[in-house]
Structure formats: C-alpha cells, structure tokens
Structure 1
Amino acid sequence: MNINKYLDSTYLKTANQVGLDEEGNAKVVKGFVQEAIDEHFQLIMIRPNMVSLARQMITDAGSDLEIGTVVDFPEGKSTIDDKLVEAKKAIHDGADDLDFVCNYEAFKKGDIDLVKEEILKGTQIGIENNKVVKWIIEVAALNDKQIIQLTSLIKNVVISNFKEESFASVFVKSSTGFYKTENNLPNGATIPSIILMLENATPLLVKAAGGVRTYEEAVEMINLGVKRIGTSGAKAIANGENTNIGY
C-alpha cells in the first residue's frame, strides 16, 4: 500500500499558538511543504495566509503536491457570504482543496436551512472552479445521531444539486483538531465516528482528520473506506513510527 497518497500533511497552527512571530511560523510551514514534496504526500494542508507561499514552492520544485486550506476555521460560525469570500481568496491564491468548517452549532440548534444553504453555495464555488470540497462536521461536538444526520444532510444536498461526476470531489471530514473536549475525550477521528460517516456519506467520500497517530491506525482507517487522512505526523506515520502530535 502506498500510504503516502492517502496522507494530507497538516499544519494549521497560528504563530501565536506556537509562540513564534509570523516569519518564524512561515519557516515552519516551509519545512512542512518541503517535507510533503520530498515524501510525495497527496496534499499539504495549511492556513489560507500560507497558500501563496506553498504554491510558489511547489511550482519552483516542479512537484504535483496539492494544496488544501481551511475556510471559516476552526469554529464555522461565520456568515455564508464571509465563507464564500474566504473561499474565493483561497482559490485565487492557488488552493486545490477547500475544507469548509460546517456551521455545526447552527445545525445543532435546528437551523437546517442555513446549513443547507452554506453547503450548497460552498460546494458550488468549489465544483465550478474544479476544486475538491470537504465539509468538516466536528464529530467531537456531535452525538452519534447528529453525526448521522449531518453527514446525511451534506450528502443529500450534494446529490440533489450536482451531477454524479462531481460526487468524488466532495468529502465529509471528521474534525478540525482544535475542538476543546472535556475529560480528555478524543477531539478527532475515532473508529466509531468514521464508521457512522462512511455508512451515511456514500457516494461522497470521507476524510479522517485528527487522532490518527500510527501506521496501523492509518491502515485501519483506509481499510474501512477512508480516502484521505489528515495528520501533522505524516512522515512518522509513513515510516511506520508513532507520533504523539495532537492532530
């Protein structure tokens, strides 16, 4: 198994979160991008303000590494218009994948129309620009029933409004990796949550993000049916080593 092509090497921390200035944090991002190029990972997942930097590095290297970025990260509470503005900027800067944080709090409050509209419009801007779109549902903030319902809602909006050939370009993604849980409960992908997503997302694809820390765990996710894995320890996983990195 060429596990590298399943791995989205991820670095989403801000300079403030890691105690660096912007220049220092950009240097860390450059290291992640270069590693992803060297290791032939599928994609580098970075913050929107780093997309242009990564695109230049990839172009200079003649690499086919793809760039993913997050939209309305990490809480997903912005207006639909704000989400679309951020997505358009990411497309302009050279992103290949747009990972939107779904407004899961609005969903939990019963504002289903708002969630449907943002899924429709966010997916539309991605598909129209030949981008991959992922909807982060934040499984740690949801119970099992809500995971099933929100995954199904995303699927139903997509299959009702887009052509079948677009389905493979839309994912349901488990987590941001930034959600604060109580009592040290997992804040990323777990086997039970991923199974629920897989059972209810088809024909859309599923990305497991956060919590995958070993090669064996990654293979288990892939064998379940996951098509992409987000991790900040991609190289360690690919080399069969354990990683203690949170995401």
Structure 2
Amino acid sequence: MNQEALIEMIDYTLLNPIATKEHIQIFCQETITHGFKTVFVNPYYVSFANQLLKDHNIKVGVPIGFSLGGATTKVKVAETVDAIDNGAREIDMLINLGALKSKEYNVVKYDITEVVKASQGLVTKVIIETALLTQEEKKIACSLIREAGADFVKTATGFNGGGATVEDVELLRSVVGKDFGVKAAGGIRTYDDAIKIVKAGANRIGTSNAIAIITGKTGSDSNNNGY
C-alpha cells in the first residue's frame, strides 16, 4: 500500500487530557502538511480545531462518552449534539461496557441507536474495548452495533489497556461482513503495524502516531497518548 492510500485511511488523533491550544495548533498544522483527511480531538477543542482546518477540507471528529463509556444515553446524546454544533463531522462513541457485561443488550443497542440518531447522518463509529471483552462479547457487540445503525466498529480507545491486534480485527471483520466499517486503534505505531492491520480487515486507522507511520519521523505524537 502506498503512502497516499494509507493517509486516506488514517484518523490523526490528539486526545491527551493536558493538550494545550499550542499543541492543537501544531497538530492541525501537521495534519495540513501531511494531508490527513480527519482528525480527532477532545470536545473542548472541536470548535478551535474546526476553525484551523475548515478551509482545508479536513474533518474534525470527536469521541463521545470518552474514555469509559459509562455516561447515560442522555448525556452521550447531548455531547454529540454539542460537538456537531461546534463543527464535528465524525462521531466515535464508546459502548456502555457495564451494560454489555451485564448482558443488558437492549440498553447497549438503545444507547448506540440514540447517538446514531443524534449524529444526523454523520459517520458514527462505536468503540468496544476489545481487550476488556471475551470473544463472545466482541461478537455480540458487533451485532448490536450493526443493528443500531452505526457505520463502524472500533477496537479500542487506547486508554483502557490493550489496543488493536490482527486477531481482533480479523474477528470483527468476520462478524460485521465486508461492507461494514472496521476501525483499528490503539498501539499502531509503525508502517508495518498499519499494513498488518489493514490486511487483517481494517479500513480505518485511528492513531496519534500518524506521522511516524507514514514517514518514520515523530511529530506532536510525543504530546499525545491513547489511540
């Protein structure tokens, strides 16, 4: 896979909780320089990043229910609406892990469905934290996500242990089928990592290491964590 094709698949990410406006400015300039198409920042910085990137055809995405997933549906919906009002154009929500572990599958599905509705047709991805789930729970989560109308299943936040593995991506792809999105995030740090993950079935990569992946050099990644 050439560099241009890989760049198209990368969501460049800066979710460090102590990132400053200066960090965001550097991050956005790197995004412009290297041609990434989508960035993810915390809700507080969505409006600021959007102002910096709106003239460059670069989308600003936002995590919802981050990074534990335990917020109520009402809160996740409000967070989604606010983010869109501030310029967010993609939504990555964290599944209700407690409800999933409790086998309250109707709650999990409702939670996703309501955020999908609030997303107003924007691409919506659902993070399941694969490292915290059994194989069966991963399969169930994938099925619920499809039924709820989301666009992607996503491996991990990168904040709660574990990350994307070839085996997990292969499993998620086998469950959701070839026409559904699989986003791999967490621990993808090199070009070789990225290629292995894509070959396993991912069609989107979330990473704070995007510059290292495509060039072998570091950028604002040293100011980041997660993803």
TM-score (norm 2): 0.91
In 2, Cα distance between equivalents of 1:222 and 1:240:
18
Equivalent residue, structure 1, for 2:14: 11
In 1, Cα distance between equivalents of 2:114 and 2:192:
37
Offset at residue 240 of structure 1 (A): 4.0
Query: Which of 216, 220, 228 is matched with 2:204 structurally?
Result: 228
1:151 counterpart = 2:163: no
- Superposed structure 1 runs of 4+ greater than 6 Å apart: 242-245
Equivalent residue, structure 2, for 1:217: 193
Structure 1, unpaired ranges of 5+: 16-23, 159-166, 182-186
1:159-184: CA deviations, max 9, x gaps?
xxxxxxxx7xx1111101110x4xxx
Query: Which of 191, 201, 205 is matched with 2:166 structurally?
Result: 191
Aligned pair in 2 of structure 1 residues 63, 138: CA closer, same or farther (>3 Å)?
same
Equivalent residue, structure 2, for 1:134: 125
1:53 counterpart = 2:48: yes
Offset at residue 201 of structure 1 (A): 1.7
Contact 1:215 1:238 in 2 (8 A): yes
How does 1:1-247 map onto structure 2 within 5 Å? Answer: 1=2, 2=4, 3-15=6-18, 25-59=20-54, 62-126=55-119, 129-158=120-149, 170-179=151-160, 181=161, 187-202=162-177, 203-240=179-216, 247=227
In 1, Cα distance between equivalents of 2:141 and 2:126:
10
Find the residue that maps to 2:170 and give its secondary structure: helix
1:92-138: CA deviations, max 9, x gaps?
00001111111022101111111110111111222xx2311010001
In 2, Cα distance between equivalents of 1:118 and 1:93:
22
Higher relative contact order (Cα pairs below 8 Å, separated by 6+ residues): 2
Contact 1:7 1:234 in 2 (8 A): yes
Offset at residue 156 of structure 1 (A): 2.5
Identity of aligned residues (%): 33
Find the residue that maps to 1:172 and give its secondary structure: strand
Contact 1:100 1:134 in 2 (8 A): yes
1:16-75: CA deviations, max 9, x gaps?
xxxxxxxx612111111110111111211110000000111113xx20111111001000
The farther-off stretch of 140-149 and 86-95 is 140-149
Offset at residue 157 of structure 1 (A): 2.8
Equivalent residue letter for 1:138: E
The farther-off stretch of 84-93 and 2-11 is 2-11
Equivalent residue letter for 2:16: K
> How many residue pairs are counted as aligned between the two chains?
219
Equivalent residue letter for 2:60: I
Find the residue that maps to 2:131 and give its secondary structure: helix
TM-score (norm 1): 0.84
Offset at residue 85 of structure 1 (A): 0.2
In 1, Cα distance between equivalents of 2:153 and 2:215:
27
Offset at residue 223 of structure 1 (A): 2.2
